[in-house]
Chains A and B, each alone.
Chain A
Amino acid sequence: MTLLELDNIVVEFPTRRGPLEAVKGLSLELNEGQILGLVGESGAGKSITGAAITGLIEPPGLIRSGQVRLRGQRIDNLAPEKMRRIRGKEIGAIFQDPLTSLNPVYTVGEQLIDTMRVHLGLDHKAARKRAIDWLAEVGIPAPEARLDQYPHQFSGGMRQRVVIALALCAEPKLIIADEPTTALDVSVQAQILALLKRLCRENGTAVILVTHDMGVIAETADRVAVMYAGRLVEIGDVAQVIQDPLHPYTKGLMNSIPQIGNRDARLTQIEGAMPGLRNPAPGCAFAPRCPQAIDTCRTLRPIPVDAGSGQVACHLFGEAQ
């Protein structure tokens, strides 16, 4: 069952020197209960895509064209008040920094209870009981005592557990997790990912996991979408994208990750850097860095075509067939 569809989304930020397109026509689908990894380098547009889904693009940024559909219903054009009811209830969000995504002047319990009272219509007593259950569920010891504490009394990992409980407690169908483990230490990162994965599997929640870390994707996601300069370059099942990537950018990205045990004297590197959003070149955005680029790549923008378990946007893929 398709839960979420993005149909040719364009996200634009007006600036003094003309509009900047951060996302330049992105389409993808997400099934219920599926974990989709959205990867890319900083500036690729992955966080903006997440914000477009939750309706949290900061003005003056806006969705210039395209549609976001949740269970077939458009949500990108809803009034702010209506979107607020969907956000939290239907779509939960987990952000990178657990300290800024919790309100410092309310106890953790108050934040959980409020969320459940608003979205699930529970009374205070029932909500409090559920809140304790949720804290226990995300692995916080002594949940009854911790419920009445403030966010600053929790460590980084524990705070991110609270954020996960907060995102899941209204029983949303979809969670947008934007770099949920980037601010955490490696030893805590594994705990948080395992928790997120288990809870989403148990509750049938779909997740869009926005990250720059291929390792996180490899162990968490079902499908992977790779973004480059505001566009999708490749999407497919995690096994295919990680082990047998089709797009030269994905290949370069995978090879440039240092791997323990690899005894090569040098790392594979992609020359150059991602182009800025201003003055986009007419062809493929990756062409200036692509070792295999042909003339067509510099003049004609590739459109995504079906390939393997997903799609790839590359002229060379067609050539090879």
Chain B
Amino acid sequence: MNDQAQSPDILSVRKVSKRFDISEPFLNRLLERRPRRILTAVDEISFDVPRGKTFAVVGESGCGKSTVARLLMGLHTPSAGTIRFEDSDITHMAPGKPPALRRRMQMIFQDPFASLNPRWRVREIIGEPLKNFGICKTRAEVTQEVEKLLVQVGLNAADAKKFPHEFSGGQRQRLSIARALTTRPELLICDEPTSALDVSVQSQILNLMKDLQDEFGMSYIFISHDLAVVWYMADVLAVMYLGKIVEVGPKEQIFENPQHPYTRLLMGTVPKLTVGGIERAPVSGEVPNPISPPSGCSFHPRCPLANETCRTVSPELKVRAGGAHSACHAADAGRLPSWTRMAAE
């Protein structure tokens, strides 16, 4: 579709960090002699989102994946680094400032109950961006466009006069998608779009998202904690742990031969729908507190391969055989055992 002389990546993120100051008020710090406390939610991450593809970010709660989404949408301002949308620097895009750029990226949120205004009718919810961005001039045009969008996401044109509470969770997520589609965005940021839904509804929404991507050639940033969903949706996959990307590369590569112990841990915890035989290997430990992350590689307290280097030096992302990048001293030194789980499938 987009075969003009454009760069292959629609979005590039370079060394972006987000630090939150969670210190107590100045006077309390002074009186109680407490230091400032800084939470590094996102720590110098870099990645590129290929045009027309799905870039997935996985990780456990607290790893910073939702902060990444909010940084990209301009809902947070990065503490450092740059974000480029095609050739424009959008790092410090003020809310509503260059609408021409803003309308080219849209977001879908996790909770379809909280992300739709309960006092607005569907017509108003979906119609608002149409009016704000001047896409439709007259009321009749807005109505027509809203009805078209509703049909596109698998709802009825007559639903335009309903309120959000009249819809089920899956239908509300369809409404969110319709609202995001109003501006014909080129990039859609989806923050756990199906994790609040039941599986039978989840598959409807995932299929719909794939169909829409084929139809409009959109790029997706798909944030999820569910590896099976990511397997289905992603082209490129980044694994995050405590604010850092620990592994990034083509999906097939990462699923077939993960090159970071944390990715392997995640792969090992996916419940398999086979009875008996396979049990998940229970892993020890939990995600550490991001306020005081471990020294060196932040995964070392849970890593079976950790040694002295891992405890002191933070590893860099390096390219591995097959084209994926991972940040692991054990992989650098060739200490990573071979991986076979996916081979047969």
Q: Chain A interface (Cβ within 8 Å of chain B)?
A: 41-42, 155-158, 185-191, 193-194, 212-216, 218-219, 238-239, 242-243, 252-254, 256-262, 265-271, 273-274
In the complex, which residues of chain B have a beta carbon less than 8 angstroms from the beta carbon of A187?
Answer: 60, 265-266, 269, 283, 286-287
Q: How far is the CB of A320 from chain B (nearest CB, A)?
A: 23
Q: Is the Cβ of B273 less than 8 Å from the Cβ of A257?
A: yes
Interface footprint category on B: 35 or more
**Given A186-B60, A267-B207 in contact, is the A254-B273 Cβ separation under 8 Å?**
yes
Q: Is the CB of A258 within 8 A of B203?
A: yes
Return the 10 tightest CB-CB contacts between A and B, nearest first. Answer: A215-B271, A261-B345, A41-B198, A256-B203, A267-B203, A185-B60, A190-B280, A258-B228, A269-B203, A270-B200
Residues of B within 8 A of A42 (CB): 169, 198
Report how far A148 CA is from B224 CA in the complex, Å: 37
Q: Assess the A185–B225 pair: CB atoms within 8 A.
A: yes
| Residues in chain B within 8 A of chain A (CB atoms) | 60-61, 168-171, 198-204, 206-207, 210, 225-229, 231-232, 255, 265-267, 269-276, 278-284, 286-287, 342, 345
Residues of chain B contacted by A262 (CB below 8 angstroms): 231-232
B286 touches A155 (CB 8 A): yes
**Closest B residue to A214 using CB positions:** B273
Residues of B within 8 A of A260 (CB): 227-228, 231, 255, 267, 270, 342, 345
Q: Which residues of B contact A256 (CB under 8 A)?
A: 199-200, 202-203
A157 to B272, CA, bound (A): 21
In the complex, what residues of B have CB within 8 A of residue A214's CB? Answer: 199, 271, 273
Additional pairs, 19, CB under 8 Å, beyond known A41-B200, A261-B345: A41-B201, A155-B286, A185-B287, A189-B269, A190-B280, A218-B275, A239-B275, A256-B199, A258-B202, A258-B203, A258-B206, A258-B228, A258-B232, A260-B267, A262-B232, A269-B203, A269-B207, A273-B168, A274-B198
Pairs A–B under 8 Å by Cβ, sample size 18: A42-B198, A158-B286, A185-B60, A186-B269, A187-B266, A187-B286, A214-B273, A216-B271, A218-B274, A239-B276, A242-B275, A256-B200, A256-B202, A258-B203, A259-B231, A262-B232, A267-B203, A273-B171
Q: Which residue of B lies closest to A249 (CB)?
A: B200
Chain B CB within 10 A, most for which of A157, A158, A270: A270
Cross-interface CB contact of B231 among A254, A258, A271, cutoff 8 Å: A258
Q: How far is the CB of B251 from chain A (nearest CB, A)?
A: 10
With both chains docked as a complex, state the minimum distance between the C-beta of A285 and any C-beta of chain B, in angstroms: 14
Given the known interface contacts A190-B282, A267-B232, the answer about A273 and B271 at a Cβ–Cβ threshold of 8 Å is no
